[in-house]
Amino acid sequence: MRTLLRPTTGALHFRCGYAALSFPGFRRGERESSKSSLSQDDVNSPSWQFEPASGYSVRVLFPFLACVLLAASPGLHAAASRGATNSAPTTLRIATYDVDATPPVGSLMAYDPVTNHWDLGLRARGIVVLGAGEPIVLCAVDWIGIANEGHDAFRNALARAAGTSPRRVAVHTLHQHDAPDCDFSAERIHKEAGLDPRQYDGGFQRQVISNLEAAVRESLPRAQPVTHLGLGEARVEKVASNRRILGPDGKVRATRWTATAEPELCHAPAKLLPHRDSQS
């Protein structure tokens, strides 16, 4: 069984014998036609292409995954640099997990209540990296935020399931609008003050944590060996734009929000996102 991780021009490719691996923000696509930089074994083996699905973000998961794999397995990196045909075996393995994270109708999200369920629900997905000391768990959730005691609960549960420590667990949200919040500290403070916790009520969130813990534990026996890591980059267009519109003096003259009605701001050029340190 061989696994090749190779992102190229906006798509992230996962190749293995007969296993289709699903990661946060990706859907199964058509059979890959390009055979560049692949060994004959790769060309002859069944392959699947995973492309970014509409409404998801890969900005958190893949850079973090690449850093984890590069740091966790120098032997894998060296093997990849020698080419696909001369790669050395590695003990590094990856398990995947995926659970539904769609709140029930009537639940309060960050801004409004859930009114219905459609074809595309919210997911909590990720990977477990095995073979580099204590397991490393990465998790991406289609929520607007996970914070404080809620973040601790996620990391502790995933650590228990993977047999690792919470410091080896990273949990991130993709920050869709609108989506659920998770903050057990805010929930506790509201209740202690006799207030309705509203969107911070954690009943549904705790169920998702329980489901994730079970999914991670069940994923470990299905872990696949990793043999290659490939990196690529491409221009991303019409996905993001700078919020801060600068005036002739170089200072911020207006802000472009998620829902901006002013035509002048909507049609302002996207330009390059300024470095954080250079923003006024």
- Residues 146 and 248 reside in one and the same domain: no
- pLDDT tens digit at each of 280 positions of the chain: 333 333 333 333 333 322 233 333 333 333 333 333 333 343 333 332 333 333 333 344 555 555 555 555 554 444 444 444 344 455 899 999 999 999 999 999 998 999 999 888 999 999 999 999 999 999 999 999 999 999 999 999 999 999 999 999 999 999 988 899 999 999 999 999 999 999 999 999 999 999 999 999 999 999 999 988 889 998 877 766 778 888 889 899 998 887 788 888 888 887 665 554 444 3
Q: How many domains does the chain have?
A: 2
Q: Does residue 64 belong to any structural domain of this protein?
A: yes
Q: Does residue 141 belong to any structural domain of this protein?
A: yes
Q: Does residue 193 belong to any structural domain of this protein?
A: yes
- Residues 178 and 251 reside in one and the same domain: no
pLDDT at 27: 34
Q: Does residue 33 belong to any structural domain of this protein?
A: yes
- Residues 147 and 179 reside in one and the same domain: yes
Q: Does residue 236 belong to any structural domain of this protein?
A: no
- Residues 65 and 169 reside in one and the same domain: yes
pLDDT at 18: 26
- Residues 141 and 174 reside in one and the same domain: yes
- Residues 69 and 169 reside in one and the same domain: yes
Q: Does residue 235 belong to any structural domain of this protein?
A: no
Q: Which residues of 6-23 are buried (b: 16+ CB within 10 A; e: fewer)?
A: bbbeebbbbbbeeeebbb
Distance CA 21, CA 46 (A): 13
Scan for tokens 């893949």, then name that residue.
62
pLDDT at 86: 45
Phi, psi of 142 (to 5 degrees): -80, 50
pLDDT at 138: 98
Closest CA to 126 of 75, 33, 62, 197: 62
∠ Cα 70 93 13 (to 5°): 70
Enumerate residues 6+ apart whose C-beta is below 8 A from 259. Answer: none
Domain hosting 253: range is: 244-278
- Quote the longest CA-to-CA distance of the chain: 67
- Residues 43 and 141 reside in one and the same domain: yes
- Residues 257 and 149 reside in one and the same domain: no
- Residues 225 and 269 reside in one and the same domain: no
pLDDT at 53: 33
Element of type H or E holding 74 = helix 74-82
pLDDT at 89: 53
- Residues 254 and 195 reside in one and the same domain: no
- Residues 16 and 93 reside in one and the same domain: yes
Q: Does residue 239 belong to any structural domain of this protein?
A: no
Q: Does residue 237 belong to any structural domain of this protein?
A: no
pLDDT at 31: 32
- Residues 86 and 205 reside in one and the same domain: yes
